[in-house]
Every structure is written in structure tokens, then in C-alpha cells.
Amino acid sequence: MSSTMSLDIKRRSATTTPAPSARETHSGEVAKLIDVSKCIGCKACQTACMEWNDLRDEIGTAAAGVYDNPTDLTDQSWTVMRFTEYENEATGNLEWLIRKDGCMHCEDPGCLKACPSPGAIVQYSNGIVDFQQDQCVGCGYCVTGCPFNIPRISKKDHKAYKCTLCSDRVAVGREPACVKTCPTGAIMFGTKEAMKDQAAHRVVDLKNRGFDQAGLYDPQGVGGTHVMYVLHHADKPSLYKGLPDDPKISPMVALWKGVAKPLAMAALGAAAVGSLFHYITKGPNDVSKELEDEMERKDAEALNKESGK
Amino acid sequence: MTNHWVDIRNADVILIMGGNAAEAHPCGFKWVTEAKEHNNAHFMVVDPRFNRSASVADFYAPIRSGSDIVFLGGVINYLLTNDRIHHEYVKNYTDFTFIVREDFAFDEGIFSGYNPEKRTYDKSTWDYELGEDGFVKVDPTLQHPRCVYQWLKRHYASYTPEKVESICGTPKEKFLHVAEKLASTAEAGRVATIMYALGWTQHTTGAQMLRTGAMIQLLLGNIGIAGGGMNALRGHSNIQGLTDLGILSASLPGYLTLPNEAEQEYDKYIAARTPKALRPGQMNYWSNTPKFHVSLMKAWWGPAATAENNWAFDYLPKLDKQYDMLQVFDLMNQGKINGYIAQGFNPLAALANSNNVRNGLKKLKFLVVMDPLTTETSEFWKNHGEFNDVDSASIQTEVFRLPTTCFAEEDGAVVSSSRVLQWHWKAAEPPGEAKTDIAIMSALHLRLKKLYETEGGKFPDPITKLYWPYAQPAHPSSEEIAKEYNGRALVDLTDAEGKVIRKAGEQLAGFGEMRDDGSTLGGCWIWAGSWTSSGNQMARRDNSDPTGIGNTLNWAWAWPANRRVLYNRASCDREGKPFNPNRVLIKWNGKNWGGADVPDMGPTMPPETTNPFIMNPEGVARLFARKGMNEGPFPTHYEAFDNPLGYNPMYPKNKLAVINPAMRIFDSVKDSAGTAAEYPHVGTTYRLTEHFHYWTKHVHLNNIVQPEQFVEIGEALAKELGIETGQKVKVSSKRGFVKAAAVVTKRIKPMQIDGKTIHHVGVPIHWGFSSQGRKGYMANNLTASVGDGNSLTPESKTFLVKVEKA
Amino acid sequence: MKRNPRDLVRYNASERANHWVVGICFILLALSGLAFFHPAFFPLTQLFGGGPWSRILHPYIGVVMALFFIVMACRFAKLNIVEPRDIDWLKNVNKMIDGDDHDMPEQGKYNGGQKLLFWGLVIGMALITITGVLMWRAWWNLPVGVVRAASVVHAIAAVWMIGLIIMHVYAAIWTRGTIRAMLYGTVTRAWAKQHHRGWYRKMTGDND
Ligand SMILES: Nc1nc2c(c(=O)[nH]1)N[C@H]1C(S)=C(S)[C@@H](COP(=O)(O)OP(=O)(O)OC[C@H]3O[C@@H](n4cnc5c(=O)[nH]c(N)nc54)[C@H](O)[C@@H]3O)O[C@H]1N2
Ligand SMILES: Nc1nc2c(c(=O)[nH]1)N[C@H]1C(S)=C(S)[C@@H](COP(=O)(O)OP(=O)(O)OC[C@H]3O[C@@H](n4cnc5c(=O)[nH]c(N)nc54)[C@H](O)[C@@H]3O)O[C@H]1N2
Ligand code: HEM
Ligand code: HEM
Ligand code: SF4
Ligand code: SF4
Ligand code: SF4
Ligand code: SF4
Ligand code: SF4
Ligand SMILES: [Mo]
């Protein structure tokens, strides 16, 4: 979490009026580029993230029999390395695909769309999607909304956490902690344009090295992302331990947080207002005078009968 | 490294073999990714496992652990038979044309002069043929059957691609790919670098493995060239500093050596270390030995080292044998050692055969551990269940633990693999009672001095006369010590004309100013220049790189003489013209040498006559090692001590040549070899990037990213044994066992070795029982106490194991 | 108003209590649920002590409501079985809406509209309960696909139910003399005869 004071806000969860957005990022939106073809899976980025953000996950076990540790993202692990052993049948080569997983900072963030709490998720004008835990109610809608399975709810404080793209560092002109630490230069940070240029250069190199399908992962289904990957197999993102091939906000979520809202509000409004107008136009449904009289008569009869006894 | 980290980015071809730089040197590994990105380099990895380095390589080839000499010898054979060598280079700068003595011989894996009982060689025949003039005989036509070139061709003729496939398990095409890519750098415009570490050194044939690599680099003309070299990736942050300072039992600072028992006379000792030029007009740097030696003695004993007492020669111990770790623990086991100081060393976890080490420690009267952390060694007496199942009551060793500081808690310099001495400043105060190593050692020294002064002793002088000129004797500062290493003038130094070039008390500018008459003092000659009269050169932080070649001469300081690429003279042809005009290190401008680096010879020495390899009296590099190595002048394949075949597939007929005939082996361990019948798989140990040896298991962050001990086995072996990934297994060798979770992987594949299926089993080294996280077994429960024939490094990389469900 | 001893008993105390537990829970659920559903209603969380409390309380209240609803539904289910005369009634529902219900087909204790509402609520409640439990992250983390579907259904069911309850409440208010049935249990004979003649006859034996 960082302060919303330091960066201007493009989008704000559960807010129907414009966010404070007079100031813009004229130097361009930012992006982190993860060059999977350069990553050696050393986890320095994971460690830097824990150090900068003061996170300490539990010490796990080796029971999963893999190099992935911790085995999943948690409220204490905002980024983890995912290792895949892939036998490339086309070349006969084994490939060890290592992907740094974490928030993609979607241009059209499903988490923000889903979040019911005003301002608990914001998107800064530079593109970073950030959670403001003090506004978070812990409902988990962001998890439901995210196409990349990123946010995690803490068991301790029941707030949602994920990579902030080090918005606190970026706000003061520094690169994210993981970028600064990465020993191989596999993670780069700059304007989105610059990162795309860098990626294009890398893709040419990878193609020259026989990865015909190398490419940039900047999925348009979520409007592009502010964390992008250079992949050797951009045609098959799911090779990289479940990176979605064509991520978009789930139609369920789109329905739930999209059309459903105004329609439902309209329907409920109509029911309430309709009732009111019905009352105004038709008046109450009273028992008819006829019946009232009949019953009064019968009451009297009954009373007489009783007293006659 | 002959070159340096940044220089790797200048390479066209990169071979990582016998190391896993991505894992063990991730920061330096950056320069591999830079070379790929900016220099279009082709990057290859040859390793028993598809490791993290391989994950970003262009090409990976598997190899059976311990068989590298066959592979590398195969490359030599390939280069020679296909004539893919740098002719001008090898002819001028190596001993290619030199003629070898007639009585030198090689037969079925054994060289002339072998004594099987003593397992040593009489090396007298291992030499060049000298002429009347005392110079080596040469044959520039290369036709002489005994010239080094012809010898090489013969020696490696049997190292064919087919042999590589059947002995190393490397598919022939994969081997040929590596050979071809290396061969592509025989031309002047292309260069290859070889990066290696323990995958080569930790074998009983380790030193010869890297020598074979160096020979390939020489044949390709890749030594002394930007982007080339033989690049040993050193271990501990300051392990380069350790070797530079000679903290090995037979060494003195600056790669000078201690006398042995037979060398009781100073003159003979010096003469043996001051060779005469073997070729006319050569620079022959070791002719300066007396200057360095005397300056060192002046640093140690000051006024007590005089011409009259041969510069305190008698104060130096004379070795009856090498006191390497294997030797010391063997003696300990024999009850011949009373006390042991483990300073920043955790032998129980680090040294081969932990059971052997533990038994040794039990026999000590006292053990001192100087360490900032709890180590296995310091707790060897404590029962940690199955991880360290000892009966504490029966152990009499008295253990003293002296808490020390860590590097960040004191000023000082660290020497990187690049030979760069970089100064660092204290970042934090030491906690609790911790004291610096200097303070502890000084206190110990002062007390010993006092004891000797008051009570006397057999020969107190070396201790009582030790020169101790520091402002605070109980705690010399890092600055004082660094200045002493650099050296200073003791009197006004004058040049030939009598002009004063250095006033008394002034810091020396370099080792060129050292004298053998006691007028200079210097604690480590190769470091002379690091702290001159213009200040601490190691603290310089200017990373400007005017030539763009990456040498940054004003960033810290590299030994020797701030030179960044050793033997850089070899980057130019006979006339002093760079072989590759696009990557110029130095060149001859008609009057002197200059360029992006400090020339590796006298700056005005004419190119026509100056050879690049000035540390050899012949001025050229040796493909024929003469007497330099203990198992022969040409690297030859031998199997590991624990080997899966039981014979040497290169020399199957000769029983003497199965294992290294001159390896480090004591009688006590001769029977500790495992057999393939009982232990069918090849085990190897290695590092994980997430941990540093045995200390980061005390660090929460490291434990998070790598929480628990595991071993790696291939899918095929797992299937054979019915093991699922993550399941607990027991890996045992003839010496002991570890139990850990199995990581079942596609990255280890079975191999066909001489018709036999061989599986590798990978055992990361980082666990032990002293841990803030999860306890584990010591990997060295498995290894054998045998070592390399030269460096005496234990064979931690190849041994036999069996695997079963735990 | 002094109560007429000849008023007909429509609900006993336990039935009334049950209904109101359900009713109160529903109001709390609707308020807290709507707060999450649409930003316009988010301030409603303040009624519960803020966002986190709303998030914590809502599902527990939901569980309470669900339990009481089940009891209530069991109590009333039999009376809400739709009969042919209810269909007739529904066919003439326009008259009812016009407030002109004196010649509507004869009804039992509940009219066709009420019965439909009843079953509408049963269905809604079933859906909302199941989906609510599925999306309850404080207790479990189900596959995101399941949670997504559950969320949509929960929201739709909630809107459905809120809509029905608006109608239900309005009908109770509009039809004068109804609320008291749920407040102190009795209705006037006139009310009964006008709105639920079948039930009136059954209760009184009065067949004219
Ligand atoms: N993260 C981390 N980094 C470290 C250290 C650490 O503990 N942790 N330690 C430091 C120290 S002191 C050192 S010395 C260095 C060591 O650095 P490296 O030598 O690179 O490290 P290792 O992992 O011991 O071994 C390297 C590789 O050798 C392979 N290998 C085993 N046998 C053979 C063989 O016969 N032939 C070939 N070609 N390869 C073989 C192994 O599979 C392994 O991939 O690392 C330094 N860096
Ligand atoms: N099987 C197997 N065994 C191996 C290897 C292998 O690959 N396989 N590798 C070998 C290699 S290359 C190496 S280098 C060794 C490493 O073996 P060691 O050097 O024994 O291992 P470390 O754990 O690094 O131990 C160094 C100790 O120094 C302490 N220390 C840190 N800073 C200071 C300081 O300033 N002062 C003092 N006094 N102590 C300090 C640390 O706390 C630590 O306990 O292991 C060797 N053992
Ligand atoms: C057993 C019953 C119920 C359970 C377990 C339940 C559970 C939940 C949960 C877990 C949420 C997400 C917010 C949070 O975590 O607090 C939620 C939201 C919601 N609930 Fe319920 N609920 C139940 C019944 C109801 C009922 C009866 C209503 C009817 C009004 C209702 C209306 C809503 C609404 C409107 C939302 C917000 C939906 C959205 O934002 O899309 N819930 N419920
Ligand atoms: C909160 C305001 C509510 C008011 C003012 C209210 C009022 C009433 C009244 C007056 C009746 C009696 C109608 C009759 O006897 O014909 C009634 C019946 C009933 N109410 Fe409510 N109610 C409320 C909420 C609810 C809720 C939230 C539910 C369930 C989800 C509910 C379920 C029922 C049922 C099942 C009956 C019996 C009628 C039938 O079975 O069709 N009510 N309510
Ligand atoms: S720090 Fe860089 S190289 Fe290391 S795992 Fe992270 S992204 Fe990969
Ligand atoms: S990846 Fe998920 S959490 Fe991150 S911005 Fe996109 S939707 Fe939100
Ligand atoms: S858990 Fe927090 S951040 Fe996520 S949707 Fe709910 S309120 Fe928003
Ligand atoms: S950008 Fe910052 S928060 Fe995100 S993974 Fe990197 S270090 Fe962690
Ligand atoms: S010790 Fe760590 S930071 Fe230093 S070079 Fe090695 S990996 Fe990099
Ligand atoms: Mo090492």
C-alpha cells in the first residue's frame, strides 16, 4: 500500500464521479518488462520485494518437489517464481521456463472493477494499480475479478494484498525494488513505450536464436498491462505455468459488475417508485364499506346472542 | 580470472562448463546476458544437470560428472585434426614448437617415472630438451616428432567424438556443436570465454580439467584477449583474497611458497624460485622473486629481518608435508592434533566425509570456533537426533566459541574473481560481544608473545620478534594492514643516477619499486599499488569507461598493477598490432604500449622480442606443463575415486590408470570407495542460488525462498524406484546418508556410458543441523576424503550413491 | 383501536416472531448487501460499523436468516400450494392492481399473488444461500470460476428478492389491515372476507 497523495489517480474503485486527475503523467505511462528469456530464477526479486515491503512469509517445505518457493502468492509473497520444465518437441530441446508471477497492473483492471469499497483500489495516472488497505473491507471481490489470480487476502488482517509495482518508489522517481535487484537485467522498468521498444529488440534477438514465436505479452483483452513479458513462446503463454493465453475480465464479472448494476438499480427503483405511485394513484386497498357494515352488523348480532344467553 | 567479469560481455562464444554461474554467481552472470544481448554471443552450458545457467543458454549438452577431460581432450583433438587453431598465436605465444625430452613417455594412461607404491611420479623426464646454450630447442616447422604440437596430436588422437559419446554420455552431435562453436573463435576477429568453478575443481583430476580448458583457449588464441580467457569464478566473496594472501598451508602471500624440509638453505630456496630464462631475451617475471620475498620478510619481522640472518629465513617453518584440510583431519583422526581453530570455517559441514571430520573433532583436546553464527562445527558434540547422532557425554573436546563480526561490521577490502580489490566501509556496529577477527588474532598474538617473552621456549624468535608497529597493538586498523600489504620504502630509494624516487616512509607505487636489499617492506607484492602515496586506490569509484571495452581502470584497483586482462600482450601480433582491431586492449605505437589496459610487460619493451607469458621463463604459455602438475604434463582422463565403471574406458587395459595415479589419498581412506554394484548412481553436490553455504539457513528470507533440503533425481530413475516428486528418499554412499524430499525432474536424464545406463543424483549442499529454519543432513555425509593431485581439493563433485524411499 | 374479540387469528406468536426474525435479517442483509453492490449504497456500511464489519456480519446474518426462513417456509408451504382458483385469481390480477378486488375469484388463506411470491422467495432464498456460502472467503477459497458464478447469481437473486420484498411490503401496507396480522396476529372479519373469502368461510363457517 502506498499513499494516494503522491500520484494522481485515473480510476478509483466503487466511485462514480471522476477521480482527482488534473495532473497527468505527461512523460508517459510506466511499465515493468520481464524478459523471461533472461531470467535465471534466482529469486533475488522475491527477496527484494520482501525486504522493501517488509514482508516475511512462512518457511514452507519441499513437499511439492519443485523449485517454486513459496509455492504460491500470498499476502506476504507478492511475487513468486514459477518454474516449468518443457520438452519442446519441435526442437527436441528441454526448456526450463521460469516466470516471475505477480500483479500485471492491467490497464483495465478486473480487481478494481470488482472492488465494492470506494478507493480501496486505485489506478494511478501512470498505470499502476494499487490497493489501499486502509479502505479495504476484505470482501475478496478483487480476487474474483482478477483474470490473473493475483490478489490474496491476509489471514491476519483480512485485507487484500498484491504487488504495488512499488508505487511508493516510483512516485519518487525510483525503479521498483525487484527491478533494481535483478542481477541479469531480466526485469526492466521505464515508460510503457520504452519497454515496448526494448521488447521489440529482444524479440528480434530471440527470433534469431530460433524462437520463431517469440513475442511480447501485453494482453489486449485487459487493455494491455503495465507489467509485460518477453516470451520465447508468445503463441503459448499457458506454457509458463498457467499464464492466461487470452486474459480478459471474465464475462461473469463483466455481467456482475457491468450491466447488472444499472439494470438492478433500475428494477429496484422501479419497484419502489412504482409502488409509491400506485398508492398515490389508486389509494389504499381498504376493506369495502359494505363489508365493514356487514361485519358490524354481525358483530352486533353475535354480541346480542352472547348477552341474551 | 585471467580476464574480469565485465569483460565477459565482449565474448562471441561463452562456454560455462564445470560451473553454474547463474546459480552461484548471478550478479556476474549478468555479463553473459549482456554479451548475448549486445554482442550476439552464443552461450553454451555443459553440465550433468540442466541447471539454471542452462535455462538461459542457447545450447546445452549433458556430461557425466567427472569425465570432462575426455570431452575437452576431444575438443583439442577436433581443433588439431580440423586445423581450427590460431596459427600465428600458437606458434609465437605457446610452446607448440618446443621439443620435449626424448625419455619422456606415455603409455596406456601412465607417464614416464611412475612409482605405483608411493603413488607419485619422478618428474625428471617431464621437460623440454635444452640446447647447449641453456635455451629450449624448437622446431618452427612443427615436424619434429617430439615437438609439443606432435605430442599433443598423438596424446589426444584417441579422444574422438565417439569416445566422448560413450564415456561422457554426451551425444556426438552435441559434442560436435560445442567443438565447432569453440573452433569458430580460432579466427582473429572472434573470441570465446570459458567460465568454470567447482564442477571442474572438485575432482581428483580437477586441476587437469581446467588445464585442458586453458589449452583449448591457447589453441584458439583466446588468452589475453578481450572477451576471452580462462575465467575461474571464485567462491566466497573474498576467496580470491585468501589465495592472494597465501592462506594455504604451503603458500606465502603473492603466490610465493614456503620452503620444504629439504630447503634449509636460503640461497637454494631462493634459487629454486628464481628461474632463468628458457628462451632468449624473455622478461621472466619470477626473476624478481628475491625482491618480493625480502620485502615480505621485512613486513613480517621488520628490523629483525636482516641480510645477516638471511632475512629471517629461519623463522619460516619448513614443511615436512602439505597441511591441507584432508591432511589435517587425517592427522586429527590419528590423534596427532590437539587443538584446532576454525576461523570463518565450518569443516563439519564443508569438508568431505562429515563422519570422518566429526571423528577427528572428537579426538581434539580443544576446538576454537571464531564465527558470527552457530555452526555445525561448533555444535559437533551436541545431539541433534538423526542429523547429528552423537553421545555428548563421551566427547571430551573443549569448545570455545568466539563471536566475530561480519564483513559489514568492519572496514576492509574484498578481492573479487576479477582480481579487483575493492574497499568497503563499516556499515553497522557489531552486536553484543562480537569482535573483529583482527582484534581476536591480535590479542591472541600479544598473549603468546608475552608468554614466550616471560617463559621462553624452544625457538621464540619468530613470535617475539614479529614486527607489530601498529598504533593500537591490540587492534591494528584495516588501513594500517592494507598499507603494509602495499609496501613502503624504509630508506630513501634512489634510481640508477642517484635521484631519490621514493622517500623513506613513503608508500610504494608498485612492486617495480621493491628491492631485495631490505630497503623496502611489502606484505603482498601483487597488491603493491593498491595504497600508494596518492591514497587508497581500492576506494576509487569512477566507473567511466572511455574506450567502451569495460575496463574501468579508475574503479577500485586490480592486481597486478591495476591490469584488468592478464597476458594482454597476447592480444597483439608480433608487431604489436591488435589481432582484433575492434576490441583493442593495448597496442604498440612504435615507442611504447598503450590502450585500454595496463600493458602486461614493460611498457617500452619492443613487441618483436617480448613474449606475453612473462610468468614463465620461456615467455610463452605451456601446452606441455613440464613439472608443473603432479599427474603429468598432458591432462589425461582418469575416473573418479568412486566411479561407476571400475575401469578407465580410455585406457581399459591399465589397472594403474583407473583413478588419478597421483591423487590425494591417505591409507586410512583407501577402502572407502563405493562400488557400482552397491551404489549404482553417480552423485554430485552443488549450490542453490537461494543459499550461501551453511550460513544462510540462519536467515529467514533465504529460508522462505528455499525452505527445506531436497535431492534431485531424473524422471527415469524416479519411475524405476517408484518415487513421486516431493516424497522423502534416502540417498546413501559408502560413507553415510542423507534423507530429503525428492525433486523429480526432466533436467536430469539417464546416460549410456560404455553400454551401461547411468543416472545422476543431485545433492544441494546447504543444509545442516544448526539452523533457524528446517534442519537437514550435511551433503558431505556422502563424499569421500580424497582430493585433487595438485590443489588437494576434495572430490565433492563425483561419488557413487544409491537411492531408496525413506 | 380497541381490538374486536371476534377478529380472526391469522398468525400465532411463534409464527409472527419467526417472520420478523426473517424480516429484520432481510433488511440488514439488503442494506449491507446493497452497500457492496453499488457504490451509491456504500455509505450504508456505516450502519454496521463500517465496511469491514458489514463484510463480516452480512454472511452470518444471512445464515441466521436462512435458518429461520427454512422454518418459516416449512410452516407456510402447505398453505401456499397453488390451486386452480389461484390461477383464476392471477388471470384477474389487473383488477387487484386497480384496487378493485371485490369480485376477484375466491381465495384461501393466501391469494395467487402471495403464493407466487412465496415460491419466488423460496427459490431466491435457496439460490442466495447457496451462492452466498460459496463466495464466503472468510471460510474458504473455492475455485475462482465457482466464486464468479456464485457472485453473479447471488447478486441477481438478491435483486430478485429485494424486488419481491418491496412488493410484499407494499402489498402489506397497501392492503389496509394486513400489517396487524403480522404484528399482533389478528385480522378483522371484514378484511378476511374481502381479501381471503375462502379462508374466511373456513374460519367462520359463514357461507354467505
Ligand atoms: N548462491 C550461492 N552462490 C555461491 C555459493 C553459495 O554457497 N551459494 N558459494 C560460492 C563458492 S564458495 C563457490 S566455490 C562457487 C561455486 O560455484 P559453482 O562451481 O558454479 O557451483 P556448484 O554448484 O558447486 O557447481 C557447479 C556445477 O557443477 C556441475 N558439475 C558437477 N560435476 C560436474 C562435472 O564433472 N563436470 C561438469 N562440467 N560439471 C559438473 C554441477 O551440476 C553444478 O551445476 O559459488 C559461489 N557462489
Ligand atoms: N560436498 C560439497 N562440499 C563442499 C562444496 C561442494 O560444492 N560440495 N564446496 C566447498 C567450497 S568451494 C567451499 S568455499 C566450502 C565452504 O565452506 P565454509 O567456508 O566452511 O562455509 P561457510 O558456511 O561459508 O562458512 C564460513 C563461516 O564463516 C562465517 N563468517 C562470515 N563472516 C565472517 C567473518 O568476518 N569472520 C569470521 N571469523 N567468520 C565469518 C560464517 O558465519 C560461516 O559460518 O565448502 C566446501 N564444501
Ligand atoms: C446464507 C445467506 C447469505 C450469505 C452466506 C451471504 C453471503 C454473502 C457474501 C459472502 C457476500 C460478499 C460480501 C461479504 O463477504 O460480506 C454477499 C454479498 C451480497 N449479499 Fe449476501 N449472503 C446471504 C444472503 C443474502 C440475502 C438474503 C441477501 C438479500 C438481500 C443478500 C444480498 C447480498 C448482496 C446484494 C450482496 C452484494 C452482491 C454484490 O455486490 O454483487 N445476501 N453475500
Ligand atoms: C420487512 C418487512 C416485511 C413486512 C412489513 C412484512 C409483512 C408481512 C405481512 C403483513 C404478512 C401477512 C400477509 C398475510 O397474512 O396475507 C406477511 C406474510 C409473509 N411474509 Fe412478510 N413482511 C416483511 C418481510 C418479509 C420477508 C423478508 C420475508 C421472507 C423473505 C417475508 C415472508 C413472508 C411470508 C412467507 C409470509 C406468509 C405469506 C405467504 O406465505 O404467502 N416477509 N409479511
Ligand atoms: S531477480 Fe531477475 S533473474 Fe532473478 S528470478 Fe527475479 S527476474 Fe529472474
Ligand atoms: S492483474 Fe489482477 S490484481 Fe493486478 S491489476 Fe490486473 S486485475 Fe488487478
Ligand atoms: S478485498 Fe478489499 S480490495 Fe479487494 S475488492 Fe474487497 S475491498 Fe476491494
Ligand atoms: S514491483 Fe515492488 S511490489 Fe511489485 S514485485 Fe516488484 S518489488 Fe514487489
Ligand atoms: S553475493 Fe549476492 S549480491 Fe553479491 S555477487 Fe553474489 S549474488 Fe550478487
Ligand atoms: Mo568455494
Q: In sequence order, what DSSP letters do the residues of B503-550 get, joined into one string? A: -TTPBPSSGGG--SSSSEE-S-GGGTTSEETTEEGGG-B----TTSSS
Choose among B594, B800, B553: nearest CA to B685. B800
Q: Which of C159, C190, C206 sits opposite A292 (nearest CB)?
A: C190
Ligand 2 neighbours (beta carbon < 6 A):
B 198, 202, 235-236, 343-346, 350, 370-373, 375, 404-407, 437, 685-686, 693-695, 765, 779-780, 783, 796
Per residue in B657-715, pLDDT (tens digit) is 999 999 999 999 988 999 999 999 999 999 999 999 999 999 999 999 999 999 999 99
- How much distance in Å is there from the Cα of C152 to the middle of ligand 7? 17
Per-residue cell: B681: 548412481
Per-residue cell: A16: 462514480
Beta bridge partners of B752: B757
> Could you identify the residue written with the cell 503459448?
A236
Please give the annotated binding residues of A, written as ranges. 39, 42, 45, 49, 103, 106, 111, 115, 136, 139, 142, 146, 163, 166, 178, 182
Does residue A1 belong to any structural domain of this protein? no
Choose among B447, B485, B482, B443: nearest CA to B464. B447
Q: Once rounded to an integer, what is the mean pLDDT over residues B560-571?
A: 97
User: DSSP class of residue A8?
Assistant: -
DSSP assignment of A62-131, as one string?
STT-SS-SSSS--SS-S-EEEEEEEEETTTTEEEEEEEEES---BSS-HHHHH--STTTEEEETTS-EEE
Nearest residue of A to residue C30, measured between CA atoms: A268
Per residue in A14-27, pLDDT (tens digit) is 999 988 878 878 88
Helices (H) and strands (E) in chain C, counts: 9, 2
Are there at least 3 beta-carbon pairs closer than 8 Å between B and C?
Answer: no
Contact B709, B737 (CB under 8 A): no
Q: Are residues A106 and A54 in the same domain?
A: yes
Mean pLDDT, rounded, of chain A = 94
Residue C100 has pLDDT above 80, yes or no: no
3-class secondary structure, B169:
coil
What's the pLDDT band for B76 if we cut at 50, 70, 90?
A: very high
Does residue B775 belong to any structural domain of this protein? yes
Cα–chain center distance at B197: 8
* Cα gap A77→A54, rounded to integer Å: 10
Does residue A34 belong to any structural domain of this protein? yes
| Protein residue closest via CA to atom 18 of ligand 3 | C33
Q: Once rounded to an integer, what is the mean pLDDT over residues C58-76?
A: 97
Nearest residue of A to residue C152, measured between CA atoms: A256
Predicted confidence at residue A1, as pLDDT, reads 46
What's the pLDDT band for C98 if we cut at 50, 70, 90?
A: confident
Contact B79, B179 (CB under 8 A): yes
Predicted confidence at residue C1, as pLDDT, reads 46
Predicted confidence at residue B744, as pLDDT, reads 98
Predicted confidence at residue B285, as pLDDT, reads 87
First to last CA, chain C: 27
Domain extent, residue B701, equals 681-805
* Cα gap B292→C54, rounded to integer Å: 81
Q: Are residues A290 and A233 in the same domain?
A: no
Predicted confidence at residue A159, as pLDDT, reads 97
What's the pLDDT band for B727 if we cut at 50, 70, 90?
A: very high
Beta bridge partners of B711: B742
Predicted confidence at residue B276, as pLDDT, reads 86
Does residue A4 belong to any structural domain of this protein? no
Per residue in B495-520, pLDDT (tens digit) is 999 999 999 999 999 999 999 999 99
> What residues have CB less than 8 Å from A172, skipping those under 6 apart?
A6
Q: Which of A143, A268, A288 sits opposite C163 (nearest CB)?
A: A268
Predicted confidence at residue C104, as pLDDT, reads 82
Distances (CA, A) of B555 to B174, B540, B562, B564: 40, 5, 10, 11
Ligand 9 neighbours (beta carbon < 6 A):
A 183; B 26-27
Distances (CA, A) of B710 to B688, B700, B727, C45: 11, 18, 10, 50
Predicted confidence at residue B271, as pLDDT, reads 94
Per residue in B257-269, pLDDT (tens digit) is 999 999 999 999 9
Q: Are residues A293 and A175 in the same domain?
A: no
Predicted confidence at residue A306, as pLDDT, reads 80
Q: Are residues A269 and A189 in the same domain?
A: no
Predicted confidence at residue A4, as pLDDT, reads 54
Domain extent, residue A297, equals 259-307
Does residue B437 belong to any structural domain of this protein? yes
What's the total number of domains in chain B?
A: 2
Per-residue cell: B742: 525428492
Per residue in B390-428, pLDDT (tens digit) is 999 999 999 999 999 998 999 999 999 999 999 999 999
Per residue in B274-300, pLDDT (tens digit) is 988 888 877 778 889 999 999 999 999
Predicted confidence at residue A302, as pLDDT, reads 85
Per-residue cell: A182: 535483478
CA dihedral A215, A219, A224, A228 (to 10 degrees): -50
DSSP assignment of B414-461, as one string?
EE-TT-EEEEE---SPPPTT-B-HHHHHHHHHHHHHHHHHHH--SS-H
* Cα gap B26→B5, rounded to integer Å: 11
Predicted confidence at residue C64, as pLDDT, reads 98
Which candidate in C58, C168, C195, C196 is catalytic? Answer: C168
The residue from A249, A280, A296 where one domain ends is: A249
- Provide the greatest CA pair distance for chain A: 114
DSSP assignment of B348-405, as one string?
HHHSS-HHHHHHHHHT-SEEEEE-SS--TGGGTTS--GGGS---GGG---EEEEE-B-
Instruction: Go through B599-629 and write b for each residue having 16 or more CB atoms within 10 A of its CB, e for each that does not.
Output: bbbeeebebeebbbbbbbbbbbbbbbbbeeb
The residue from A224, A249, A274 where one domain ends is: A249
* Cα gap B92→A223, rounded to integer Å: 63
What's the pLDDT band for A179 if we cut at 50, 70, 90?
A: very high
* Cα gap A67→B710, rounded to integer Å: 10
Ligand closest in space to the Cα of B71: 1
Does residue A3 belong to any structural domain of this protein? no
Is C134 a pocket residue for ligand 4 (Cβ < 6 Å)? Answer: no
Contact A78, A49 (CB under 8 A): yes
Q: Are residues A194 and A157 in the same domain?
A: yes
Residue B41 has pLDDT above 60, yes or no: yes
Please give the annotated binding residues of A for [4Fe-4S] cluster, written as ranges. 39, 42, 45, 49, 103, 106, 111, 115, 136, 139, 142, 146, 163, 166, 178, 182
Mean pLDDT, rounded, of chain B = 96
Tell me, yes or no, if C41 comes closer than 8 A to chain A by beta carbon: no
Residue A224 has pLDDT above 70, yes or no: yes
| Half-sphere exposure in the Cβ direction for C88 (13 Å, CA) | 10
Q: Once rounded to an integer, what is the mean pLDDT over residues A192-200?
A: 98
Q: Are residues A122 and A263 in the same domain?
A: no
Residue C2 has pLDDT above 60, yes or no: no
* Cα gap B68→B77, rounded to integer Å: 14
The residue from A249, A274, A291 where one domain ends is: A249
What's the total number of domains in chain A?
A: 2
Question: Is residue C168 flagged as an active site residue?
Answer: yes
Q: Are residues A294 and A184 in the same domain?
A: no
Helices (H) and strands (E) in chain A, counts: 9, 11
Q: Are residues A295 and A169 in the same domain?
A: no
Q: ipTM value, please give it.
A: 0.94
* Cα gap B651→B657, rounded to integer Å: 7
Tell me, yes or no, if A307 comes closer than 8 A to chain C by beta carbon: no
Cα–chain center distance at B659: 21
Contact B298, B518 (CB under 8 A): yes
Q: Judged by CB atoms within 8 Å, which residues 7-36 of C form the interface with A? A: 35-36
Q: Judged by CB atoms within 8 Å, which residues 272-291 of A form the interface with C? A: 272, 275, 278-279, 282-288, 291
The residue from B427, B462, B497 where one domain ends is: B462
Q: Are residues A44 and A138 in the same domain?
A: yes
Residue C106 has pLDDT above 90, yes or no: no
Q: Are residues A238 and A285 in the same domain?
A: no
Residue A285 has pLDDT above 70, yes or no: yes
Cα dihedral across residues A63, A69, A70, A71: positive or negative: negative
The residue from B438, B462, B486 where one domain ends is: B462
| Half-sphere exposure in the Cβ direction for B81 (13 Å, CA) | 16
pTM passes above 0.90: yes
Q: Once rounded to an integer, what is the mean pLDDT over residues B620-625?
A: 96
What's the pLDDT band for A309 if we cut at 50, 70, 90?
A: low
Per residue in B751-779, pLDDT (tens digit) is 999 999 999 999 999 999 999 999 999 99
Q: Which of B56, B724, B745 sits opposite A37 (nearest CB)?
A: B56
Choose among B290, B303, B749, B346: nearest CA to B525. B290
Predicted confidence at residue A27, as pLDDT, reads 84
